[in-house]
């Protein structure tokens, strides 16, 4: 049955119980899990081991790429492709390149942040197996859920179910793919 299972979904009474359950599950060795709540819960992602963020690195790389692209484009146009001596200045008059270089750096970093966040979060996601679990629609209102995926190396259906029940979950449901 575990091969036909996405995971187990446990419902908790409130944000404190969900946070404690996530910490206990991480301490127990579960790594493939996700929490669902109607509001942000401080320290929830850190308690599940999601403390390493890659978006700032993506933004920095995109900003450098954008700035280099802006400067390179202006250099190519002003020095190589269409050299035009304006006012006796040198062809590579870099102070006049600063605004476009800065703006392209900002533009590329904004697009990098948006696209990187969407890709790393797996969005858009029109379908997810937990959507079929009864009462999961409460996750957008007053429900607090923790899902441990069957792909987790420590996942065993009976042990994981008893572990989630020991955390005082109101209900533990099977999540089918």
Contact 116, 61 (CB under 8 A): no
Between CA 174 and CA 18 the distance in angstroms is 18
Between CA 94 and CA 70 the distance in angstroms is 11
Residue range 2-52+128-175 in CATH 3.40.1620: no
- Give the other-Cβ count within 10 Å of 90's Cβ: 9
Q: C-alpha 13: how far from its chain's center?
A: 26
- pLDDT by position in tens, the chain (length 177): 457 899 999 999 999 999 999 999 999 999 999 999 999 999 999 999 887 789 999 999 999 999 999 999 999 999 999 998 888 889 998 999 999 999 999 999 999 999 999 999 889 988 999 999 999 999 999 999 999 999 999 999 999 999 999 999 999 999 998
Spatial neighbors of 115 by CB under 8 A, at least 6 apart, are none
Q: pTM for this one?
A: 0.76
Domain map (residue ranges) of the chain: 2-52+128-175, 55-120
Between CA 78 and CA 111 the distance in angstroms is 27
């Amino acid at each position: 049955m575990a091969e036909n299972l996405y995971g187990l979904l446990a419902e908790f009474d409130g944000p404190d119980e969900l946070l404690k359950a996530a910490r206990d599950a991480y301490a127990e060795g579960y790594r493939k899990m996700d929490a669902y709540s109607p509001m942000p819960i401080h320290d929830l992602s850190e308690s599940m081991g999601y403390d390493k963020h890659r978006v700032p690195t993506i933004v920095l790389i995109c900003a450098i790429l954008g700035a280099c692209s802006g400067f390179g484009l202006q250099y190519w146009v002003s020095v190589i492709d269409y050299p035009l001596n304006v006012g006796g200045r040198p062809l590579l008059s870099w102070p006049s390149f600063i605004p476009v270089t800065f703006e392209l750096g900002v533009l590329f970093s904004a697009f990098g942040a948006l696209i990187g966040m969407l890709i790393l979060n797996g969005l858009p996601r029109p379908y997810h197996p937990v959507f079929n679990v009864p009462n999961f629609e409460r996750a957008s209102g007053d429900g607090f859920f923790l899902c441990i995926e069957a792909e987790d190396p420590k996942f065993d259906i009976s042990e994981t179910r008893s572990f989630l029940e020991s955390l005082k979950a109101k209900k533990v449901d099977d999540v089918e793919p």
